[in-house]
Chain A
Amino acid sequence: MNFFKRLVLINFLFVSFGANAVLDIKITQGIEQSLPIAIIPFGWSQAANIAPIDISSIVNNDLARSGRFDVMEEQYLPQQPHNFDDINFGDWRKLGMENILIGNLKLDDQGDYDVSFRLIDIYRGIEIASGRQTVKAAHLRRVAHQISDVIFEKLIGIPGAFNTRVAYITVKENNGSKLHTLQIADADGFNAQILLESKEPLLSPSWSPDGKKIAYVSFEGKNSAIYVQDVSTGQRERIAAFPGINSAPDWSPEGSRLAMTLSKDGNTEIYVMNLRNRSLQRLTNHAGIDTEPSWSPDGQKLVFTSDRSGGPQIYEINARGGQPKRISFDGKYNARPEYSPDGKFITLVHAVNGSYRIGILDLANGAINTLTDARLDESPSFAPNGGMIIYATTGVRGAQLAAVSTDGRIHQRLGLQQGDVREPAWGPFLK
C-alpha cells in the first residue's frame, strides 16, 4: 500500500449537464509512477463564439481518471501552442514534461466540425501520433474519447477504453415503492440514458459483442424472464420465460448465441440458446446450483458458478458440453466469474473472512489475487481492453459503482447522485 499515493483531489462533478449527467467519478488511488502529460486547450476557428465542446478538458479528464497519467493543470502550462512550430521545447523540458497534446477545432462551411490533434514527444522533439476527422456536433464527445484512446495506447501500450459505454441498474425509492432502471452511460459517466424503468427488480445486463443490444433479467411478469433490447431503437423481446428461473444471460463472442440459467427442468442448469431459432442446448446436469455462465473470448468454453462441491466455486465446461472442471480452489466462496478479454484470467467474487471482494484468478496457476477490500463487492466486469474491472460495492451510502485496475493499483469510485447503482456491465469497444 505504501507504493500508492492517495489522489482524492480529482473529483469531476457532472451535474451541470442536467439530467444526463449522473456519475461522479473519483480516483481514490492512483499509481506513483504516473506519466506526466500536458493537454493544451485546442485552437478554435470561431473565436467570437464559444466552442460547442471543450475537447481538451474531456481528454484531460479521461487520462487523469485512468490513474496512469499526471496531467498538468492548465494554470501551470508555460505556453498554449496549437501548432507544432509554435512549441517551445526548451520550456517544456525544463518542467520535466514528457508529452504534450495539441490540436485544433474548426467549423467548416457545411456546419460540421474538423478535429485534428498531434501528440508530441517533448524529449525527442517529434510527433508520435496524430489524427484528423470531420464530424457532426453530436459526435464531438466521442471524438475526444477516441483521442484519449490513441494517447493511452501510444504511451501505455494497451488500447484505451475511453470510447466505450457501461450498462448498469439503478434503484431508488419512489413514493414508498422502488423504481428500478436499466441505464447506459459513456465510460466517463456522461450521456446516461434510461433503457427501461420498472417497479420490479432488474439484473444482469449483458452486451451483445457489437454493442447494439443488451440482454437482461426483468421480474416485471412476477417471475424472472430474459429480455433482449435494441439499444438505439428501444425495441425489446422476451426470449426466455420458462417456469422457474430465467436468468444470467451472457452473449457469445460471435453474437449468435446466449448462455443462460434456466430451472425449467427441475433446478438451475446452464443452457445455450441459439438466437436465430431459439433452440436450447443444455450444458450442465447436476442437482446443485449451476449459474452465472460466461463465455471464453474464443467461444470454445464457458465458466460458471456451481455449488456441486458444497459451496459456490468456479467450473469450466466445453461449449459443446461434457464434464465440467473445477478451476477455483482458494477459499470457500467464489462466484460470478467473467473471462478477461485475453482469456488468461477470470474475475470473480471471492469471499475472504466473511467479506465479499473482487478477485482475479490466474488461469495459468489457479491463484486468486484479491483486488478490493470492502465487505460487499459484487458483479465484476472487465473493460474491453482488460485494464480495469468495474464492479458494485455496498457501503453506508448504499450501492455504488467502483473500478479497479487488474493489478489492483488503481481504484476509482463512480457514484450516483441518489439511490443505488449496481450490476455494471462494461460494453465493447465502439467503432
Chain B
Amino acid sequence: MFIRLILVIGLSSLLFGCSSDEVKEEDPVQVEDRSSAATGGAAEDSGAQAYGTDDGSTSGFSELDDPQSPLSVRIIYFEYDSSEIQSEYRSVIEAHAAYLIRNPSTTITLEGHADERGSREYNLALGERRAQSIRQQMALLGVASSQMRLVSYGEERPAVEGHDEASWQQNRRVEILY
C-alpha cells in the first residue's frame, strides 16, 4: 500500500514535470507559470528542477531527465548588473557542455533575463550579455556555436513578480532550454 502511494506520487510528479516541459517549449508566455511554482519554497529557488520523460513511462530516464544529474539545473543566476558566471555554476555548465558535445544534434536556447530595476533597454542588453557569457563558456568547453541559440527578454519576463531583492535575485538569470 505504502509502496503504491509512493508510486502514485512519483507518477504525478513525473506528469507535472512533463507538462511543464511542454509549456516551456510551446508557449513562452507561460514561462511565468512554471517559474511562479518555484516561489513556493526557498529550497527550490536555487534552481534545481525535475523534468519527466515525454511518454510518461517510468522506465528509461534519460540523462536530461535525471533529477540527480547536474543537467537538471537549468537556471543560472547572476549578481546585480553583472554577467559574470559565479563559480558554483561551473560544474553545471560543464555538465551541459559535455551533454551537448555527446549529442551534437541537440540544440539549446540560452534565454537571458534581468531584474526590473533601471531602464528596460539596458536590461535587454544585460540579459543578452548574460546569455553570451554562458555561450562563451560552453564554446570554450567545445560546444559548437550552431547548437546554441541566444535570446534576451531583459526584464520583460520576470520569473517572480515582486519588487524586492528576494524576487530580483530569481529574475537575474539565464534559462537553459532544451
The chain A residues found within 8 Å of chain B, CB to CB, are 176-178, 199-201, 203-204, 219, 222-224, 244-245, 247-248, 261, 263, 267-268, 289-292, 305, 307, 311-312, 333, 335-336, 349, 351, 356, 375-376, 378-379, 394, 423
Q: How far is the CB of A56 from chain B (nearest CB, A)?
A: 40
Task: Name 25 interchain pairs, CB-CB below 8 A, sorted by A.
Answer: A178-B29, A201-B157, A203-B156, A222-B28, A244-B128, A244-B150, A245-B125, A245-B152, A247-B124, A261-B125, A263-B125, A268-B125, A289-B125, A289-B126, A291-B125, A307-B122, A312-B119, A333-B81, A333-B118, A335-B118, A336-B121, A349-B118, A351-B118, A379-B120, A394-B163
Q: How far is the CB of A197 from chain B (nearest CB, A)?
A: 13
CA distance A42 to B88 in the complex (A): 72
Chain A minimum-CB-distance residue to B127: A245
Contact assessment for B116 and A394 in the assembled complex, using a CB-CB cutoff below 8 Å: yes
CA distance A219 to B127 in the complex (A): 14
Question: Given the interface contacts A199-B29, A201-B153, A201-B156, does A423 sit within 8 Å of B120 by beta carbon?
Answer: yes
Interface residue B33 (Cβ < 8 Å from any Cβ of A): yes
Contact assessment for A176 and B126 in the assembled complex, using a CB-CB cutoff below 8 Å: no
CA distance A212 to B13 in the complex (A): 53
Q: For residue A200, which residues in chain B have a CB less than 8 angstroms away from its CB?
A: 28-29
CA distance A176 to B32 in the complex (A): 9
Q: How far is the CB of B20 from chain A (nearest CB, A)?
A: 14
Contact assessment for B119 and A305 in the assembled complex, using a CB-CB cutoff below 8 Å: yes
Q: For residue A312, which residues in chain B have a CB less than 8 angstroms away from its CB?
A: 81, 118-119, 122
CA distance A349 to B27 in the complex (A): 33
Chain B 107-131 per-residue mask, 1 if CB under 8 angstroms from chain A, else 0 = 0000000001111111011101100
Contact assessment for B128 and A336 in the assembled complex, using a CB-CB cutoff below 8 Å: no
The chain B residues found within 8 Å of chain A, CB to CB, are 27-30, 32-33, 81, 116-122, 124-126, 128-129, 132, 150-153, 156-157, 163
Q: For residue B121, which residues in chain A have a CB less than 8 angstroms away from its CB?
A: 203-204, 247-248, 261, 291-292, 305, 335-336
* Sample of 13 further A-B pairs with CB below 8 A, known A200-B28, A335-B122: A176-B33, A201-B156, A203-B156, A204-B120, A244-B128, A261-B121, A268-B128, A305-B119, A307-B81, A312-B81, A312-B119, A335-B121, A379-B120
Contact assessment for B124 and A224 in the assembled complex, using a CB-CB cutoff below 8 Å: yes
CA distance A351 to B128 in the complex (A): 22
CA distance A289 to B151 in the complex (A): 16
CA distance A176 to B122 in the complex (A): 28
Chain B minimum-CB-distance residue to A378: B119
CA distance A305 to B121 in the complex (A): 9
Q: How far is the CB of A245 from chain B (nearest CB, A)?
A: 6
* Contact of B128 (CB < 8 Å), options: A204, A245, A292, A349: A245
Q: For residue A307, which residues in chain B have a CB less than 8 angstroms away from its CB?
A: 81, 122
Contact assessment for B33 and A289 in the assembled complex, using a CB-CB cutoff below 8 Å: no
Q: Which of A222, A267, A378 has the most CB of B within 10 A?
A: A378
* Contact of A245 (CB < 8 Å), options: B118, B119, B124: B124
Would you list the 7 A-B pairs with minimal beta carbon distance, nearest first?
Answer: A201-B156, A336-B119, A335-B119, A289-B125, A268-B125, A177-B29, A248-B121
CA distance A290 to B128 in the complex (A): 12
Contact assessment for A375 and B163 in the assembled complex, using a CB-CB cutoff below 8 Å: yes
Q: How far is the CB of B97 from chain A (nearest CB, A)?
A: 21
Q: For residue B33, which residues in chain A have a CB less than 8 angstroms away from its CB?
A: 176
Q: For residue A245, which residues in chain B have a CB less than 8 angstroms away from its CB?
A: 124-125, 128, 152
Q: For residue A244, which residues in chain B have a CB less than 8 angstroms away from its CB?
A: 128, 150
CA distance A291 to B125 in the complex (A): 8
CA distance A261 to B128 in the complex (A): 12
Q: For residue A261, which residues in chain B have a CB less than 8 angstroms away from its CB?
A: 121, 125
Q: How far is the CB of A251 from chain B (nearest CB, A)?
A: 15
Contact assessment for A289 and B122 in the assembled complex, using a CB-CB cutoff below 8 Å: yes
CA distance A312 to B129 in the complex (A): 14
Q: Which of B29, B81, B126, B153 has the most CB of A within 10 A?
A: B29
Q: For residue A376, which residues in chain B have a CB less than 8 angstroms away from its CB?
A: 116-117, 163
Q: How far is the CB of B150 from chain A (nearest CB, A)?
A: 7
